[in-house]
């Protein structure tokens, strides 16, 4: 080695919320194990927080009220950003990079929305911005995509990447409960925020999917082009009918790379009940990845929580410390995994994407209604794979259909025509079927 490697590797943490405190506790609690692995002492030397706490061990740690004090501290080797949001997180990260400091962040929104700018600057400054903890908590999925499966052209990936949503759907499936009831319970249990929009409307999942798609396919981050649909419209009836048809309903992020372009979409999805990923329950996360050489691989684990997220934060810190220890002049793997990303790949509009569909149509109990519905579908080029028709319990009854593959544009047209029929009451429920029947584990 060409330089003397210091005995210590110093971590500065900005923000002492759940993830910040978890990171501090992990580095303190596992210090002997970390030393055994690195051959150096990994230690937190500086934290910044606006709300000091008495319940954590800050012995020997410098505490600042201003997060920007950490990024200018000459003794800090790596800055851990755990404040979340865009402002001042973006400025903080950019300034740390400007100062030649490596950064580890758990901030999925920041990476999904501002990652292109951040990685460009990091490359120019020869520092690392690592973000394993921003996707799927404790599951090392970024490392799997960027390094473990690097030899593959990734065909597609699909993941349960929002624990809150998965908890709600699991409860709805197990107990036929209403979405709203379970959401309140999830808030009481601390699984959902007071404002649950980011989780239940799919925005959090879309941030994570955007990041995974870029790493998998070698394309710039394009959060604004990810189709996003939440789970708030799913009813207990849909869960029951899906089960009768042999499916579980899960909230999936799906990214697919084909000759037609790249698909990025987050929405409720019917998955064959026998698939392993259909049986990932509660707040767990799971990501199925299909590579052109390896085939299908599956990664499951905790997607949130202080300790699980800290596991990934500190793994990133250790990667950086290991490279620092061999005097590497730059990070070995580029930010999104590709030295030469494609910059002109078409992200497909949801209307151009073909799926099989589950439809639940509430109709009046009249002779010939089924014939009219099938006629409309036929006119739109949509053929039917399975039907469930229930007894009328009031003036209307549900017809549940599973269709063969059709472009979303044609399905939208069909749904509009169907909703215009006098026999059809209210809105039609529509859920896409998972596209990966061939590649399951």
User: Site size for a copy of itself, by CB under 8 A?
Assistant: 70
> If binding is defined by CB under 8 A, does position 39 make contact with a copy of itself?
yes
Q: Any contact of residue 287 with a copy of itself (CB under 8 A)?
A: no
Q: Which of residues 183-242 bind a copy of itself (CB under 8 A)?
A: 218
Query: What does the H/E/C string look like for 145-205?
Result: HHHHCCCCCEEEEEEECCHHHHHHHHHHHHHCCCHHHHHHHHHHHCCCCCCCHHHHCCHHH
Residue 308 touches a copy of itself, criterion: CB under 8 A: yes
Hey, which residues between 345 and 374 contact a copy of itself (CB under 8 A)? none
Phi-psi region of 138 (alpha: psi -120 to 50; beta: other; left: phi over 0): alpha
Copy the structure tokens of residue 37.
Answer: 């692995």
* Among the residue ranges 227-235, 261-269, 315-323, 387-395, the one whose residues contact a copy of itself (CB under 8 A): 315-323
Q: Shortest approach of a copy of itself to residue 201 CB, angstroms?
A: 27
Contact flag: residue 423 with a copy of itself (CB under 8 A): no
Query: How many helices (H) does the chain have, and how many strands (E)?
Result: 14, 18
| Whether residue 62 lies in the annotated active site | no
- Part of the chain binding a copy of itself (CB under 8 A), chosen from 26-34, 169-177, 183-191, 241-249: 26-34
158: contact with a copy of itself by CB under 8 A: no
73 binds a copy of itself (CB under 8 A): no
Q: Does 327 bind a copy of itself (CB under 8 A)?
A: yes
User: Do 313 and 104 touch, CB atoms closer than 8 A?
Assistant: yes
In this structure, what DSSP letter does residue 396 have?
A: E
CB within 8 Å of 74: residues ≥ 6 apart: none
Does 43 help bind a copy of itself (rule: CB under 8 A)? Answer: no
Which residue's entry shows tokens 């979409």? 265
Q: Where are the alpha helices (DSSP H) in 176-302?
A: 179-189, 197-200, 203-217, 236-244
Q: Does 294 bind a copy of itself (CB under 8 A)?
A: yes
Active-site pick, 37, 208, 243, 405: 208
Residue 246 CA to residue 233 CA, distance in Å, equals 21
What is the set of active-site residues? 208
Binding site residues, a copy of itself, CB under 8 A: 1-2, 26, 30, 33-39, 132, 138-140, 143-144, 147-153, 218, 276, 279-280, 284, 291-302, 307-308, 310-315, 317-319, 322-323, 325-333, 337-342, 441
């Amino acid at each position: 080695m060409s330089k003397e490697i210091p005995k210590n590797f110093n971590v500065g943490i900005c923000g002492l919320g759940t993830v910040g405190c978890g990171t501090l506790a992990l580095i303190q609690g596992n210090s002997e194990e970390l030393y055994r692995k690195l051959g150096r002492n990994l230690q937190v030397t500086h934290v910044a927080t606006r709300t000091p706490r008495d319940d954590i061990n800050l012995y020997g740690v410098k505490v600042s009220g201003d997060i920007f004090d950490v990024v200018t501290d000459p003794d800090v080797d790596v800055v851990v950003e755990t404040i979340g949001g865009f402002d001042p997180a973006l400025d903080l990260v950019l300034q740390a990079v400007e100062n030649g400091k490596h950064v580890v962040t758990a901030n999925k929104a920041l990476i999904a929305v501002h990652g292109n700018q951040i990685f460009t600057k990091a490359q120019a400054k020869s520092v690392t911005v690592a973000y394993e903890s921003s996707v799927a908590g404790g599951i090392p999925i970024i490392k799997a995509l960027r390094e473990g499966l690097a030899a593959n052209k990734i065909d597609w990936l699909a993941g349960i990447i929002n624990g809150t949503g998965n908890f709600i759907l699991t409860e709805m499936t197990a107990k036929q409960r209403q979405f709203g009831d379970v959401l309140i319970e999830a808030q009481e249990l601390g699984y959902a925020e007071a404002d649950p929009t980011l989780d239940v409307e799919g925005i959090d999942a879309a941030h994570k999917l955007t990041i995974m798609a870029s790493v998998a396919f070698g394309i710039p981050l394009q959060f604004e082009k990810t189709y996003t649909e939440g789970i708030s419209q799913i009813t207990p009836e849909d869960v029951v009918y899906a089960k009768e048809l042999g499916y579980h309903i899960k909230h999936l992020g799906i990214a697919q790379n084909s000759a037609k372009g790249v698909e990025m979409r987050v929405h409720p999805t019917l998955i064959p009940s026998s698939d392993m990923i259909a049986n990932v329950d509660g707040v767990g996360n799971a990501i199925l990845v299909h590579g052109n050489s390896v085939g299908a691989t599956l990664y499951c684990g905790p997607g949130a929580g202080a300790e699980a997220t800290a596991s990934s934060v500190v793994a990133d810190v250790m990667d950086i410390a290991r490279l620092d220890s061999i005097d590497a002049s730059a990070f070995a793997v580029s930010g999104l995994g590709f030295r030469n990303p494609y910059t002109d790949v078409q992200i497909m509009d949801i209307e151009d994407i073909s799926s099989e569909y589950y439809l639940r149509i509430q109709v009046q109990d009249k002779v010939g209604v089924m014939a009219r519905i099938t006629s409309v579908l036929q006119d739109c080029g949509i053929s039917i794979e399975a039907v469930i028709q229930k007894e009328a319990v009031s003036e209307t009854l549900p017809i549940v259909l599973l269709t063969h593959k059709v472009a979303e544009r044609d399905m939208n047209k069909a749904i509009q025509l169907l909703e215009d029929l006098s026999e059809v009451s209210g809105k039609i429920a529509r859920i896409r079927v998972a596209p990966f029947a061939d590649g399951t584990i």
